[in-house]
Copies of this chain bind each other. A is one copy, B any other.
Amino acid sequence: MRKETSSNALNEKKINATCGMGYALSLIGGRWKSNILWRLLNSDKLRYSELRRLIPGISERMLVSQLRELEADQLVLRVVYPEVPPRVEYALTDLGKSMRPMLQSISDWGEMHRKVTAED
C-alpha cells in the first residue's frame, strides 16, 4: 500500500505536479506497461488471456494491476462481455493512442543509445 504522507510519496507528488515529464513517466513507468502498451498499439484490442500469452514472464497479478492503472489513467478501456466463461477485452482509448509518437520516440532513442554505447 501507499503511504500518502511519506517523504517519498510527497516528493513524487511534488515532482509530478511541476514537471510534465515526471508526470508522464509516472504513467508509463511500470515494469510491464511499455510492453502492454506496445501490444495494444499494434492490435486493435486484446483479451486478458491474449495479453498474458503475448507477454512472457508476467504474472497474473502484475498483468491485472498494470492494466488497472492504465485504465485509471484513461489510457486503456476495459470491456467485459457477460458470457461464460468470461471474456474481457482491452483496447487503447483515444488518449492512449495519442501516446504513439511519444512511445515511438522513446523506443527509437533507446535503440540508438544501445547501439552507440555498445560500440565502446
Contacts and interface: CB of A to CB of B under 8 A. Distances in A.
Interface of A: 11-12, 14-15, 19-25, 27-29, 31-32, 34-35, 38, 57, 73-74, 95, 98-99, 101-103, 105-114, 116-117
Contacts of A74: 116-117
Contact of A29 (B15, B19, B29): B29
Contact of A19 (B19, B38, B101): B38
For the residues of A in contact with B, the DSSP-based class is helix
Copies in the complex: 2
A94 to B, nearest CB: 9
Chain A to chain B: the 6 pairs with minimum beta-carbon distance, closest first:
A24-B110, A20-B110, A20-B111, A20-B107, A21-B34, A23-B110
Contacts of A29: 25, 29
